[in-house]
């Protein structure tokens, strides 16, 4: 809670009277006592000042939300601790919101704060109170009902009520938050509208967690629409601006899925596009993305893109021992149909099984199973089939059987 207090300034606005005396006392120096006449004059002046100014006040709802937004922006910059502090702050001041004097909600800043409070994870009971006690005018009803429906996962009602809210007339940050909400609501049934809302959210709140979340979702929706060039532009912007976000791992998983889906059509082109998007990242971050794409492609049976991605990871210097084992596994397993069985088995034998994640160890077993099937197929061939001409003719069939066996063995690894 120390950080909460620091952000909120201890929750109070302090008057200047007494500041010098407090500073002197805290420094360890004595403070000379004033003469009797001076003391009476000072007491009178202080009394007038006390009557004119309150020495403290509790934080208003908009003060709390400014602190929450500060923490959210810290999350977008990679401060994982800010996530926990935000949760503490929302819990700490939920009661304050619920018990606020009705007059507090006449300030438009506090009303906006109540909406943002609920959309940020605070209790929706605050909005219930505003509705129940009629502490708002009718023009705000659609916004409150839409917000309540969204936070309670009634997306159909939220979509209908928020459609009546004039976002263009709102304060930019609240409008951006609501555009993000509508983007999330429409992503399933109307991706085109969802993309438009996410674009507006980014424009209204640049550099914030709102922009980060809009890019994270928007890049995937744009790619699914078929506009790969624009999706790559959004992904590049995400990595440029939010590579250290606390949610970057979530985006990297989505990005991996995005490029993998393209790799089935044209592995070489998809890898070139991927490399261009992540070129500005550090070597280890690039290796992580290449390995994620290689594994996903391998499990999905897209062997050509899996091999190319693994090779790209291996080409970057500094691959750690466990990641080196993963890259060798993905590259070899995706090339079993084209490698000599003895060569592939030797490579797999060099992989340190103890360094692999249990799911990758299962994939290693699947690769050995495929090699065993290839060996059995070759052993069952009649002797004449082993000559060069016959081997060329039967090669595609062996390759097809190998790929089919690997795909079948890796079904259990699909996410």
Task: Give 277-317 pLDDT, tens digit per residue.
Answer: 999 999 999 999 999 999 999 999 899 999 999 999 999 99
For residues 145 and 53, which has the higher predicted lDDT (pLDDT)? 145
27-40 tens-digit pLDDT: 333 333 444 444 44
Please, which pLDDT band fits residue 144 given cuts at 50, 70 and 90?
A: very high
Assess whether pLDDT exceeds 70 at residue 395: no
Residue 403: predicted pLDDT: 55
For residues 29 and 42, which has the higher predicted lDDT (pLDDT)? 42
Residue 365: predicted pLDDT: 92
Q: Are 143 and 98 in contact (CB under 8 A)?
A: no
Q: Is 240 exposed, middle or buried (0-12, 13-18, 19+ CB in 10 A)?
A: exposed
For residues 164 and 398, which has the higher predicted lDDT (pLDDT)? 164
Looking at residues 54-80, what average pLDDT do you find?
Answer: 87
Q: What is the CA radius of gyration of the chain?
A: 31
Residue 6: predicted pLDDT: 42
Q: Per residue in 366-385, is it b (16+ CB within 10 Å) or e — as a string?
A: bbbebbebbeebeeeeeeee
Assess whether pLDDT exceeds 70 at residue 63: yes
Mean pLDDT for all residues in the chain: 83
CA–CA gap between residue 262 and residue 269 (Å, rounded): 9
Looking at residues 137-151, what average pLDDT do you find?
Answer: 94
Looking at residues 4-20, what average pLDDT do you find?
Answer: 39
CA–CA gap between residue 221 and residue 186 (Å, rounded): 11
Please, which pLDDT band fits residue 375 given cuts at 50, 70 and 90?
A: confident
Cα diameter, the chain: 122
For the ranges 10-14, 223-227, 250-254, the lowest mean pLDDT is seen at: 10-14
Looking at residues 171-199, what average pLDDT do you find?
Answer: 97
Residue 405: predicted pLDDT: 53
Residue 46: predicted pLDDT: 45
CA–CA gap between residue 57 and residue 290 (Å, rounded): 54
Q: Are 319 and 286 in contact (CB under 8 A)?
A: no
Is 121 strand, coil or helix?
coil
Closest CA to 258 of 303, 305, 214: 305
Please, which pLDDT band fits residue 406 given cuts at 50, 70 and 90?
A: low
DSSP character at residue 282: -
348-369 tens-digit pLDDT: 999 999 999 999 999 999 999 9
180-191 tens-digit pLDDT: 999 999 999 999
Closest CA to 293 of 236, 244, 331, 337: 331
Structure tokens at 319: 């691959």
DSSP character at residue 167: G
Q: Are 306 and 326 in contact (CB under 8 A)?
A: no
DSSP character at residue 102: G
Assess whether pLDDT exceeds 90 at residue 96: no
Assess whether pLDDT exceeds 70 at residue 152: yes
Residue 265: predicted pLDDT: 82
For the ranges 3-7, 265-269, 336-340, 377-381, the lowest mean pLDDT is seen at: 3-7
Assess whether pLDDT exceeds 90 at residue 15: no
Assess whether pLDDT exceeds 50 at residue 16: no
């Amino acid at each position: 809670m120390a950080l909460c207090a620091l952000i909120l300034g201890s929750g109070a606005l302090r008057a200047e009277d007494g500041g010098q005396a407090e500073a002197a006392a805290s420094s360890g120096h004595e403070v000379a006592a004033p003469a009797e006449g001076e003391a009476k004059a000072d007491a009178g002046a202080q009394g007038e000042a006390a009557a004119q100014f309150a020495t403290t006040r509790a934080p208003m709802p908009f003060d709390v939300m400014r602190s929450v937004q500060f923490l959210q922006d810290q999350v977008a910059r990679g401060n994982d601790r800010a996530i926990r502090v935000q949760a503490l702050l929302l819990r700490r001041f939920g009661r304050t919101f619920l018990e606020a004097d009705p007059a507090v909600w006449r300030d438009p800043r506090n009303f906006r704060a109540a909406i943002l409070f609920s959309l940020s994870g605070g209790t929706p009971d605050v909005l219930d109170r505003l509705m129940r006690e009629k502490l708002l005018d009718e023009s705000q009803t659609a916004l409150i009902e839409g917000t309540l429906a969204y936070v309670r996962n009634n997306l159909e009602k939220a979509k209908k009520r928020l459609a009546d809210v004039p976002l263009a007339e709102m304060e930019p940050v609240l409008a951006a938050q609501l555009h993000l909400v509508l983007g999330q609501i429409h992503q399933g049934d109307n991706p085109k509208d969802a993309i438009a809302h996410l674009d507006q959210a980014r424009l209204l709140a640049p550099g914030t967690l709102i922009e980060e979340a809009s890019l994270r979702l928007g890049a995937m929706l744009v790619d699914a629409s078929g506009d790969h060039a624009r999706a790559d532009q959004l992904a590049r912007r995400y990595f440029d601006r939010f590579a250290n976000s606390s949610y970057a791992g979530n985006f990297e998983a989505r990005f991996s899925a995005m490029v993998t889906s393209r790799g089935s059509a044209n592995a070489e082109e998809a890898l070139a596009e991927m490399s261009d998007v992540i070129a500005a990242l550090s070597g280890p971050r690039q290796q992580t993305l290449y390995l994620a794409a290689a594994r996903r492609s391998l499990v999905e049976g897209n062997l050509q893109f899996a091999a190319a991605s693994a090779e790209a990871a291996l080409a970057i210097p500094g691959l750690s021992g466990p990641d080196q084992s993963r890259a060798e596994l993905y590259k070899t397993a995706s090339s079993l149909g084209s490698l000599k069985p003895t060569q592939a088995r030797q490579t797999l034998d060099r992989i340190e099984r103890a360094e692999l994640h249990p799911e990758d160890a299962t994939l290693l077993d699947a690769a050995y199973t495929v090699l065993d099937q290839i060996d059995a197929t070759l052993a069952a061939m009649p002797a004449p089939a082993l000559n060069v001409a016959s081997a060329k003719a039967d090669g595609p069939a062996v390759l097809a059987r190998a790929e089919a066996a690997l795909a079948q063995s890796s079904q259990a690894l699909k996410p």
